[in-house]
Amino acid sequence: MIMTSNEWEKKGNLLSVFNKEIFTIDTGNHQNCLVILHGYLTSSYDYYKVLPELSKHYRVILFDFIGFGFSEKLNKKYFTIIDQTDYVLELCRLLGLNNITLFAHDYGTEVAQEIIARQNYSLIDVTIKKYIFCNGNISLNHSFFLDYHKTVKEQVAKKLIEMLASFGIYKKAIREGFFDESKITDEELKEMWYQLELNKGRDAINFVHNYIRERKIFWHRWVQALKENNVPIKLVLGRQEPLSEKIENIEILWIENCGHYPMLESPKEWIEAVLKA
């Protein structure tokens, strides 16, 4: 049964972090924590199908990044990956979290890489014992950011910007991320779009070129962080998404017949992979 945005919102609360309001769901009575970082142009709502089972095994912390979902939307201001990371770590500190498994999808993988960079130099005061990366933006191939790939970068930016133009374009683009498009309904997509639009959210996050630029600026920092990391990392990947990159010497748990959104497309298999990771 599809959960409405109103029902999802009732599961969480707005927490004040550095004077910004972050929508946060905190559920599950366990010592081990699972903190989930969602993707770009979506929100914590991506995990509504899997939350009940996850909370049987973890204290689950789900939240919307600043500018997304039910969290505070910004007026014509780009919130950088560095900013988002500061807020994630402060949220974890305020909630008193330790023994953290950090799960990151899409946009969230870049925040996770920045956290790893800081953890490598003991610059964080929370204990992260494991990372799980899911279909995301781990850009191991720096050639993507070279000048002769400018057209590719522009195409990526153009597609993301187009997604903000209308519900019809957004719906089509999200569906393209599924191996089986029948696994995502119009009703779910309308809820996702509602949360994106809420409080002029489309204006607040329409800084896609900045986002692409950040990935170039911090590429060396983040890849070096992965090389120096000594905390376990696992990959959970939908087999049918060609853009997902593999990290050498890191175990991959594949989800067959699945694309970019395994938590929505194959929730049972996704849960099994995450619990195994």
What pLDDT is attached to residue 163? Answer: 83
State the pLDDT confidence band at 144, using cuts at 50, 70 and 90: very low
- List residues bridging with 105 in a β-sheet: 134
Average of per-residue pLDDT values in the chain: 89
pLDDT exceeds cutoff 60 at 182: yes
**What's the CATH superfamily of 5-276?**
Alpha/Beta hydrolase fold, catalytic domain (3.40.50.1820)
Q: Which residues contact 91 (CB under 8 A, 6 or more apart)?
A: 15, 17, 22, 24, 61, 63
pLDDT exceeds cutoff 50 at 94: yes
Give CA–CA dist 214/83, Å, rounded: 12
The predicted model scores a pTM of 0.92
pLDDT exceeds cutoff 80 at 154: no
pLDDT exceeds cutoff 80 at 4: yes
Listed range (118-122, 163-167, 236-240) with the worst mean pLDDT: 163-167
Q: Which residues contact 260 (CB under 8 A, 6 or more apart)?
A: 106, 135, 177, 178, 238, 241, 243
Question: What DSSP state is assigned to residue 128?
Answer: E
pLDDT exceeds cutoff 70 at 232: yes
Which one has a higher pLDDT value, 97 or 205? 97
State the pLDDT confidence band at 145, using cuts at 50, 70 and 90: very low
Q: Which residues contact 112 (CB under 8 A, 6 or more apart)?
A: 37, 102, 104, 131, 133
- Structure token digits, residue 35: 């903190």
Helices (H), the chain: 5-9, 51-54, 81-94, 107-120, 150-163, 167-176, 186-197, 201-204, 208-217, 219-228, 262-265, 267-276
Which one has a higher pLDDT value, 3 or 249? 3
Cβ distance 258 to 240 under 8 Å?
Answer: yes
Nearest to 175 by CA among 265, 109, 69, 237: 265
Q: Which residues contact 230 (CB under 8 A, 6 or more apart)?
A: none
What pLDDT is attached to residue 185? Answer: 97
Nearest to 241 by CA among 226, 259, 219, 265: 259
Burial (CB count within 10 angstroms: exposed 0-12, middle 13-18, buried 19+), residue 237: buried
What pLDDT is attached to residue 20? Answer: 96
Burial (CB count within 10 angstroms: exposed 0-12, middle 13-18, buried 19+), residue 38: buried
Which one has a higher pLDDT value, 200 or 149? 200
Mean pLDDT within 63-79: 90
pLDDT exceeds cutoff 50 at 52: yes
Listed range (19-33, 188-202, 206-220) with the worst mean pLDDT: 206-220
State the pLDDT confidence band at 83, using cuts at 50, 70 and 90: very high
Q: Give percent of the chain with pLDDT exceeding 90.
A: 70
